Amino acid sequence: VARSCRWYATRPIHVDILGERHPTDEITNITPSILAKLPLRLHTRPKHPLHTLRTLIESHFPTFKHHSSLSPLVSPFKNFDELSFPKDHPGRAVTDSYYVNKDLMLRTHTSAHEVEVFRQGDDRWLLTADVYRRDEIDGSHYPVFHQMEGACIFPATPEGMRHVAEDNARMRSQLAKTNIVIEDVPHVAPTNPAQAGHDPAHSALVAEHLKLSLNGMLLALFGGATPLQVRWIEAYFPFTSPSFEVEVFYRGKWLEILGSGVVRQATLDTANVPDKIGWAFGLGLERIAMILYSIPDIRLFWSEDERFLSQFKENEITTFKPYSKYPSCFKDVSFWLPQGSALHDNDFCDLVRDVAGDIVEDVKKIDSFVHPKTNRASLCYRINYRSMDRSLSNEEANEMQAQVVSRLTELGVEIR
């Protein structure tokens, strides 16, 4: 597990995060460029597209309570264990998630707060937050993005289920009058089963309530003159069953918008509401905003450039007018790793992100092989440096590339 951590040449004894000091340990992998994002909370910034989108979704669910100020620091227990993630789930790896230390991490999804919010006794709620995942670098992936979690639970009684069925009938007849084409899957199926403790008929009613509620929301966001095409797909999450993903056909492409399902009873039991049954979803705000506003690169959400920020109005979706695109500057780096060691792409990307910040547009591994005699691995990455705000000089790109090379050398690699 500690493998990747060798790639942080010098580690401070502690890190200060949101006004509190935390000890580091051998799995610490949070970088200064990630730490700098924590206070920004774009979803709370007036006129920002992520704030407007959040507000539009909140107003579509007027009876739901809204949360938007929970700390991104959570225990791995809360992010994973409490949600029934198996011990060997890949998301727990230090190559995939950011750890402050072994007891504290940056949430990887808003579902990390399900238990605590259900425990507060709210039956219907939405929760918006910044989430963090180690990933590769390109125009649609960024190590920080924003999710909105939504949930709705009902008394698991005949009376409660009658209420769900009535609500479903009401929503069904409303949707029937709209311009929407839905590709559906069964509410429960052998491949997407009701939970052991659930009456399959109840589970199906709840799954249908989820689908109708979300189809209505998608219509409000994406609906227009042409029919809106929505596709429901069977999915798997450790904390829901049955589970679904939703895709929307928009401007010629199927776009994954959200994950959802019938909440695992274990979650509700832990939250002290064992007599309820219900649904939850988690959607990606950037994915939706990039489409609705025509924002071409996910880095733009973090721009402080007035040519970006001044284009947006409070609570109104407008089409983004790109200002000129500046030239790319490609730089390659090839190196030998120390014998017997490996380097995860995410580790390389974090190093580059730390040196170049938002100037890095994408990183591609263009070559990798192991020398048959020395048994050392050789890697070659191509970095695309491109500013969104100005023209970058070749000298500046060379300077950043030199820093990347120097950081790599500190880690004991041999530049080729």
> How many residues contact ligand FA5, by CB under 6 A?
23
Write a three-state SS string for 337-367: CCCCCCCCHHHHHHHHHHHHHHHEEEEEEEE
Does residue number 260 form part of the binding site for ligand FA5 (CB under 6 A)?
yes
Are residues 43 and 54 in contact, defined by beta-carbon separation less than 8 angstroms? yes
Point out which span in 41-49, 162-170, 223-231, 275-283 binds ligand FA5 (CB under 6 A).
275-283
Does residue number 136 form part of the binding site for ligand FA5 (CB under 6 A)?
no
Pick one of 160, 242, 261, 278: the residue that binds ligand FA5 (CB under 6 A): 261
Compute the least distance from the CB of residue 343 to ligand FA5, in Å. Answer: 21
CA torsion sign, 101 to 103 to 109 to 110?
negative
Compute the least distance from the CB of residue 375 to ligand FA5, in Å. Answer: 34
**Token code pair at residue 351:** 């190093």
Compute the least distance from the CB of residue 259 to ligand FA5, in Å. Answer: 3
Distance, in Å, from the CA atom of 363 to the CA atom of 342, rounded to the nearest integer, reads: 18
Does residue number 295 form part of the binding site for ligand FA5 (CB under 6 A)?
no
Of the two residues 236 and 336, which places its CB atom closer to ligand FA5 in the complex?
236
In terms of phi and psi (left: phi > 0; alpha: psi -120 to 50; beta: otherwise), the region of 70 is beta
Distance, in Å, from the CA atom of 37 to the CA atom of 41, rounded to the nearest integer, reads: 8
124-132 and 65-67 strand pairing? parallel
Distance, in Å, from the CA atom of 191 to the CA atom of 194, rounded to the nearest integer, reads: 10
Pick one of 258, 300, 360, 400: the residue that binds ligand FA5 (CB under 6 A): 258
Pick one of 208, 282, 358, 360: the residue that binds ligand FA5 (CB under 6 A): 282
Of the two residues 151 and 329, which places its CB atom closer to ligand FA5 in the complex?
151
Over the window 214 to 253, marking each residue x when it contacts ligand FA5 by CB under 6 A and - when it does not, the resulting string is: -----------------------x--x-------------
Distance, in Å, from the CA atom of 8 to the CA atom of 226, rounded to the nearest integer, reads: 51
Does residue number 137 form part of the binding site for ligand FA5 (CB under 6 A)?
no
Of the two residues 202 and 264, which places its CB atom closer to ligand FA5 in the complex?
264
Pick one of 230, 268, 280, 329: the residue that binds ligand FA5 (CB under 6 A): 280
Does residue number 210 form part of the binding site for ligand FA5 (CB under 6 A)?
no
Closest CA to 383 of 407, 414, 359: 359
Compute the least distance from the CB of residue 326 to ligand FA5, in Å. Answer: 23
Compute the least distance from the CB of residue 158 to ligand FA5, in Å. Answer: 26
Under DSSP, the state recorded for 316 is B
65-67 and 276-284 strand pairing? unpaired
Q: Which of residues 38-67 bind ligand FA5 (CB under 6 A)?
A: none
Point out which span in 44-52, 55-63, 145-153, 309-317 binds ligand FA5 (CB under 6 A).
145-153
Does residue number 147 form part of the binding site for ligand FA5 (CB under 6 A)?
yes
CA atoms within 13 A on the CB side of 69: 2
Does residue number 161 form part of the binding site for ligand FA5 (CB under 6 A)?
no
Are residues 141 and 298 in contact, defined by beta-carbon separation less than 8 angstroms? yes
In terms of phi and psi (left: phi > 0; alpha: psi -120 to 50; beta: otherwise), the region of 183 is beta
Q: Which of residues 97-116 bind ligand FA5 (CB under 6 A)?
A: 109, 111
Closest CA to 151 of 171, 172, 121, 174: 121
Residues in contact with ligand FA5 by the rule CB under 6 A: 109, 111, 133, 135, 141, 145, 147, 149, 237, 240, 256-261, 280-284, 286-287
